[in-house]
Amino acid sequence: MLELLFLLLPIAAAYGWYMGYRSAKKDQDDISNKLSRDYVTGVNFLLSNQTEKAVDLFLDMLQKQESENEIESRSQFEAELTLGNLFRSRGEVDRALRIHQALDNNPNYSFEQKLLAKQQLAKDFMSVGFFDRAENLYIMMVDEPDFAEGALQQLAIIYQKTKEWKKAVNVAEKLAKISPQQNNIALAQYYCEYAASLGAESKENPLEILQRALAVSPNCVRASIMLGDLLLKQEDYPRAIGVLENVLKQNPSYVGEILPALKAAYQKMAQNDNFELFLIRASRENPNSSVDLALADLIAEKDGRSAAQTQVYHQLQLNPSLFLFHRFIQYQIEGAEEGRGKESLILLHKIVGERIKQSFDYRCTNCGYQSHKLMWCCPSCRQWETVKPIRGLDNQA
């Protein structure tokens, strides 16, 4: 609503001039008073959240103003631009487009005024999903210092929607030159998307692109995971281990995501003990049932079920979670004698297992969206890196 109020400033300005002009004629005082009242009523509608009524009233005022055709060119331009914006805010984009297009084509307006019209025209196209047309307009604005930043931001949004990652990288790199950021999450994610989109025949090296992602956003877990997987494929196990273990420093909530790759790398190097040491360290630094379960698996392989059961029991007391409880019952069943006690345990194991299956694995910390799959851009609130593994969060299931 605040945005709408700002949007109405040109109307206020145009009317200020218009009313001054009319009242100078003395005999038109009543008309000027009526318009003044309408304007105040409109603003009151806005303030009491009756946006629809307010927009209708302002549209009516602007249309009257147009028909009077008595305002100077600058005010006329601003009022028309606003009229278009009001139509867009009401969902009447075809009317907004006609008005903004007419302004852009009018030879009486200056280059700067036409840029403003193009900017609004591009917004109209964006609002109806004509991304190619919006893209052409924003590309024209990139070379204009006052419009460049906004145009690049919009181009990044367009390329994100159309999944043109190379172009997204290019505009985000330009944007980073205009306003540098310490931790450029969006650019890092574009690098990751671009690296993931490269085919085997590509001349570009995904390894280099992922390193660029880490350079612009050192905490980009996704780049580390992808880099670790690539190094694993290239059989560079020591480097893969270094990159994957770094996730614990970057963001411990995601540690569960790297465990299979890390385990594979340590196994290739015959260093299971070092994997165990990493798990112990990770578990101490941040409660995470994925880590605890991996540790139990490793202990079970090495020292048997009983030792693993003791470990899980100990962890359950420190960090109770449904996942650990499920595993604990499983160990109990394996060690139980046939009979009613074991049958009850099997039933309990099944019930807890069903509950785990129903629960989500990932949750957006920004909007609460839940999913069974890790997504780097939340499909609900469109934020990068806000969807996190629930097992790595404080209040685990």
Tell me the two tokens of residue 317. Answer: 């007391």
Cα angle 287, 250, 222; round to 5 = 105
Buried/exposed code over 206-218 (b: 16+ C-beta within 10 A; e: otherwise): beebbebbbebbe
Q: Is 364 annotated as a binding residue?
A: yes
User: For residues 271 and 366, which CB has a smaller minimum distance to Zn ion in the complex?
Assistant: 366
Tell me the two tokens of residue 243. Answer: 């990159």
Which residue among 159, 378, 389, 391 contacts Zn ion (CB under 5 A)?
378
Stretch that binds Zn ion, among 53-61, 298-306, 318-326, 370-378 (CB under 5 A): 370-378
Q: How far is the CB of 193 from Zn ion (least distance, A)?
A: 18
Stretch that binds Zn ion, among 10-18, 179-187, 189-197, 366-374 (CB under 5 A): 366-374
**Run of H or E including 45:** helix 29-47
Q: How far is the CB of 185 from Zn ion (least distance, A)?
A: 14
Which residue among 286, 366, 370, 371 contacts Zn ion (CB under 5 A)?
366
Stretch that binds Zn ion, among 85-93, 201-209, 234-242, 376-384 (CB under 5 A): 376-384
Give me the residue label for tokens 């790398």.
265
Q: Is 367 annotated as a binding residue?
A: yes
User: For residues 260 and 368, which CB has a smaller minimum distance to Zn ion in the complex?
Assistant: 368
Stretch that binds Zn ion, among 192-200, 247-255, 352-360, 377-385 (CB under 5 A): 377-385
Tell me the two tokens of residue 136. Answer: 């052409």
Who's near 114: CB < 8 A, 6+ residues apart?
103, 104
Which residue among 58, 266, 278, 369 contacts Zn ion (CB under 5 A)?
369
Cα angle 366, 155, 105; round to 5 = 130
Which residue among 142, 367, 374, 397 contacts Zn ion (CB under 5 A)?
367
Q: Which of residues 252-291 bind Zn ion (CB under 5 A)?
A: none
Question: What SS3 class is residue 361?
Answer: coil
Q: Are 55 and 90 spatial neighbours (Cβ–Cβ below 8 Å)?
A: yes
Q: Are 368 and 359 spatial neighbours (Cβ–Cβ below 8 Å)?
A: no
User: For residues 78 and 385, which CB has a smaller minimum distance to Zn ion in the complex?
Assistant: 385
Which residue among 50, 51, 127, 380 contacts Zn ion (CB under 5 A)?
380
Q: Is 9 near Zn ion (CB under 5 A)?
A: no
Which residue among 259, 265, 364, 390 contacts Zn ion (CB under 5 A)?
364
Dihedral sign (CA 227, 232, 235, 239): positive
Q: Is 381 annotated as a binding residue?
A: yes
Q: Is 192 annotated as a binding residue?
A: no
Residue 388: φ, ψ to 5°: -125, 150
Stretch that binds Zn ion, among 44-52, 199-207, 250-258, 361-369 (CB under 5 A): 361-369
Who's near 170: CB < 8 A, 6+ residues apart?
none
Q: Are 369 and 380 spatial neighbours (Cβ–Cβ below 8 Å)?
A: yes
Q: Is 381 near Zn ion (CB under 5 A)?
A: yes
Q: Is 333 near Zn ion (CB under 5 A)?
A: no
Cα angle 248, 243, 391; round to 5 = 35
Binding-site members are 364, 367, 378, 381
Binding-site members for Fe cation are 364, 367, 378, 381
Which residues make up the interface to Zn ion (CB under 5 A)?
A: 364, 366-367, 369, 378, 380-381
